[in-house]
Amino acid sequence: MQVAIIGITGYAGMVLYGLLKKHPGIIQINLYQHDLIEPTPLEELAPQYENTNKAVQPYDSAEIIKNNDAVFFATPAGVTSKLAQPFLDADFPVIDLSGDFRLKNGAEYEKWYHKPAADNDELAKSYYGLADLSTNPGKNYIANPGCYATSVLLGLAPLVQSDLIDPDSIVIDAKSGLSGAGKQLSESSHFIQSNENLQIYKPNEHKHIPEIMAQLKQWNPKVDHIQFMTTLVPINRGIMSSIYVKVKPGVTEAMIKEHFENVYHSSKFVKIYNHLPTIKGVVGTNECHIGLSYNPTTHYLLVDSVIDNMIKGAAGQAIQNFNQLFAFDADFGLQLNPVLP
């Protein structure tokens, strides 16, 4: 197969390109940039690719559809929605790493992303691809979940789906490495600000909140709200979501573990541990590691869910969705080992 990547200069696009080069079902990767006027050597846009003899082409939807079997959008939020129409009209396979098609209501998107939304009829044509828990209903436009959303939803799914918790008790303390803030430099990502520091950001207004809520309500309409807080930590990659929930009367620790094992027993990428996992165990992989700690006095459960935000939270899950769509083995291109030490 031949595939296209639109957007190669951001972190997600770079990681995606590296992973796709190892995919046994892909023979060629064509690169495009939405803001180019003429073909440009890849090394001019991303110097780390020096001597690759690869050119990045200007965006042309007709050419992309003609010369590729699928396209990955690794573009910023607010860009993909302006480019998606030709692919939707052609029912062409798209895996979209931006947030532009994750929400089904344009007004909701504009409230959280502060950008113009795609039309609601376009949004309805997309499928929210939480790859470890969802089966594609036959849609070719796949909205890849956000990194925080992936970590949180995988951690909550067995509890919410089986109605084991008080739906009003969900509190999420999520911490992310600096790559989660994107490549664009900001005050919070300056070395002098981020080093030896913790920074809470976007309290109660993070754009992943509505997609988390949408999926939780789909699993269990009783979930009316969550308390979600994000912290920037001075590491390169990784997310740790510490999720606190109060279990219902009569629910035991053994029942909780059994539900997690049942939900993920056949998953190649979600692993349940008897200890609380750390970020180091997942960096460089497409895995989500989950650990549980139950307090019998307070009846609160801690779910510790960790992922690599650039792989499981972006490029790796995009390849999972690509593999599902084209009936490849789930781990094609994703047979990865953690980066240690």
Query: DSSP letter at 165?
Result: B
Domains and CATH numbers, the chain: 2-124 (3.40.50.720), 148-309 (3.30.360.10)
Among residues 94, 131, 147, 270, the one annotated as catalytic is 147
Please report, in angstroms and rounded to a whole number, the separation of the first and last CA atoms in the chain.
35
Known catalytic residue at 288: no
Q: Which two tokens stand for residue 231?
A: 């912290």
* pLDDT tens per residue across all 341 residues of the chain: 999 999 998 899 999 999 999 999 999 999 999 988 899 999 988 888 877 889 999 999 999 999 999 999 999 999 999 999 999 999 999 999 999 999 999 999 999 999 999 999 999 999 999 999 998 899 999 999 999 999 999 999 999 999 999 999 999 999 999 876 665 666 767 787 888 999 999 899 999 999 999 999 999 999 999 999 999 999 999 999 999 999 999 999 999 999 999 999 999 999 999 999 999 999 999 999 999 999 999 999 999 999 999 999 999 999 999 999 999 999 999 999 999 87
Q: Is 189 exposed, middle or buried (0-12, 13-18, 19+ CB in 10 A)?
A: middle
> Under a CB-based contact definition with an 8 Å cutoff, are residues 6 and 75 in contact?
yes
